[in-house]
Structure 1
Amino acid sequence: MTRRGAALELAVLGLLHDAPMHGYELRKQLIALLGWGRVLSYGTLYPCLKALTKAGYIAADPDAAAVTDATVVEPRGRRNRIVYQLTAEGKERFATAMEESGPTAWDDESFGVRFAFFGRTDSRTRMRILEGRRTRLEERLDNVRQSAARGRERADSYTLELQRHGLESVEREVKWLTELIDRERSGQDDSAQRQSDH
C-alpha cells in the first residue's frame, strides 16, 4: 500500500470511529479535516472503502438511513446510500495504527492524519512523532540551504523567491513543532484533554 493509501485508510478509520457515515459525508469530512479537496476523488475513496470492508475493518449497510444526514430523502429509482461503520476489528486496527510512531508516522503523507487524531494517542507516542517530524524537517532545511547556497549565482529571481518561500514555510513548521513539543513536555495537552473528557 502506498503512503497516501495508508494515510487515507487511517483517516477513514478515525472518522468512522466517531460515527457511521455514508461515502458522500465521509468524503466531505475528509476534505474538511485534511484539506484534500483536489486530490480525494470518489475514485480514490471508494476503492479504499471496499478494501476496508473486505478486510473486515468496516461494515457497509445499504439499508441503513444516512446516520449523519437523516433528513435526506432519496429520489425514486436511486439506490439508498450505503452507510459505513467501524467494526470491532476496525477499532482495533485504528488503535494499533495510532500507536505506531516510526518514520512513516512523521512523513509528509501521514503526519497530518496522525496529528488530527492525536487526542486518541498517548503522550509518549505523540512526543516521538512530533520529535521525529521536527528532525526530518530540520534535515530538509539543511539540505535546501546547502542546495540554495550552491546554486544561488545561477538562479534567477523567481527561483530564489521560491526557495525563500519554501525555507520560510519549513522554518514556521519547525517553530510550531517546537512549541507543541514544549507544551507536551510540560503536560499541558494531557490536562486539556482530561478536562475535555469531563
Structure 2
Amino acid sequence: MLELAVLALLSESPMHGYELRKRLNTVLGTFHRFSYGSLYPCLRKLAAESYVTADDSTAAGRLGGRSRVVYTLTAEGKERLATLLGEGGPSSWEDEMFGVRFAFFGKTDAAVRLRILEGRRGRLEERREKVRSALTRTRERFDSYTLELQRHGLESVEREVRWLTELIETERAETGRTQPPPTAVSAGLPPDLPAAPQSIGPPGAQEEP
C-alpha cells in the first residue's frame, strides 16, 4: 500500500522525505496516517530495488542550510507503478487498500477502476447481509444503545453501497461515451462495402427498368 502511494506521488515530481510525508498525509490522511518509521524503510527498499534514486547533492535538496535527500522515480519505478495500478484483485477491495487505490484512480485505467469499484461493492454487500443477519438473530440480547450502534454501522455500509453504485454507473457511462463508433471493419463488414440503395415507394414496390 505504501509502495504504491510513494511511487504514485513521485511520478508527479521528485520530493524529499519531509515533503513526501506531508503529501502522503494530505492525500491519504483520511484513510491512513503514515509515519517516518514506515516511510523511510519503504524509500530505502525502493532505492535498493532501483525504483527510485536518492540524491542529496543537488541544490534542490538543500533547505534551510540542511542537506535533504531528494527521491526521483526511475524508469523501472514507472514500470513498477504501472504494474501496481493495473492490479484490481480482492486486496484492492479491502477497507484500507481501497482508500489508497481510490486516491490514485486518476492514474488508473478505466477498466481496472470499474473492476475495483464492483469488487468493493460486492464485498460491502456481503458485509451488509452479515450485519443484517446478526441483528435478526441477536436483537433480543442487545440493549437499545448497542442496537443503535449496530444500526449505525449498517446504515454506513448501505450508504457506501449506494455511493459505489453511483460511481459504477458513472464509470460505465463514461466508458460508453469514449468508445469509438463502430466502423465497417470492426462490425465484420468489408471496408469497401457500398451503401444499400434506398427503396422509393411503398414496401414491396419494384422499380421499373
TM-score tier by shorter-chain length is: 0.7 to 0.9
* Among 122, 126, 135, the residue aligned to 1:139: 126
**Structure 2 residue runs without a partner (length 5+):** 179-209
Q: Note if contact 2:31-2:99 (Cα within 8 Å) is conserved in structure 1.
A: no
Q: Deviations over 1:32-80 (max 9, x none)?
A: 111169741111111111111111111111123447xx8x423xxxx41
Counting matched residue pairs gives 178
- Structure with more relative contact order (C-alpha pairs < 8 Å, separation 6 or more): 1
Structure 1 residue ranges without an equivalent (≥5)? 1-6, 192-198
Assess, with a 3 A threshold, how the Cα gap between structure 1 residues 49 and 36 changes in structure 2: closer, same or farther: farther
Task: Report the aligned-residue RMSD.
Answer: 2.1
The one-letter amino acid paired with 1:85 is: T
TM-score normalised per structure 2? 0.78
1:93 aligns with 2:87: no
Alpha-carbon distance in 2 for matches of 1:65, 1:85: 14
Quote the offset at 1:156 in angstroms. 2.2
- What SS class does the counterpart of residue 59 from structure 1 fall into? strand
User: Residue 95 and residue 32 in structure 1: after superposition, are their counterparts in 2 closer, same or farther (change >3 A)?
Assistant: same
Residue in 1 that maps onto 2:95: 108
Partner deviation per Cα, 1:116-157 (whole Å, 9 max, x = no partner): 111222221111111000000000111111112222211123
Distance 1:93 1:162 in 2: 42
Local SS of the residue matching 1:63: coil
Of 157, 160, 163 in structure 2, the residue corresponding to residue 173 of structure 1 is: 160
- In the superposition, relative to structure 1, how do residues 38 and 11 fare at CA in structure 2: closer, same or farther (>3 Å)? closer
Structure 2: distance between partners of 1:65 and 1:136:
48
- TM-score, normalising length from structure 1? 0.82
Q: CA 1:154/1:60 → structure 2, altered by over 3 Å: closer, same or farther?
A: same
Q: Counting helix residues as a fraction of each chain, which structure ranks higher? A: 1
Partner Cα distance (2:144, 2:58) in 1: 58
* Match for residue 73 of structure 1 among 39, 60, 64: 64
Structure 2 distance, partners of 1:87, 1:121, is 19
How far apart are the structure 2 equivalents of 1:98 and 1:21? 21
> Aligned equivalents of 1:163 and 1:144: distance in 2?
8
The CA distance in 1 between the partners of 2:138 and 2:121, in whole Å, is 26
| 1:57 matches 2:51 | yes
1:27 aligns with 2:27: no
**Identity over aligned pairs, percent:** 62
**Which residue pairs with 2:108 in the alignment?**
121
Do the aligned partners of residues 26 and 133 (structure 1) sit closer, same or farther apart at CA in structure 2, a change above 3 Å counting?
same
Q: C-alpha offsets along residues 3-55 of structure 1, whole Å, 9 cap, x if unaligned?
A: xxxx1110001000101111111111111111169741111111111111111
Indicate how the Cα distance of structure 1 residues 148 and 37 shifts in structure 2: closer, same or farther if over 3 A, else same.
closer
Residues 64 and 144 (structure 1), Cα distance of their counterparts in 2 relative to 1, 3 Å cut: farther
What amino acid maps onto 2:151 in structure 1? R
Structure 1 residues 14 and 103: CA distance shift in structure 2, 3 A = same
Which one is further off, 179-188 or 129-138? 179-188
8 Å contact kept, 1:183–1:189: no
Other structure's SS at 2:96 match: coil
Instruction: Kindly name which structure, 1 or 2, has the bigger radius of gyration based on alpha carbons.
Output: 2
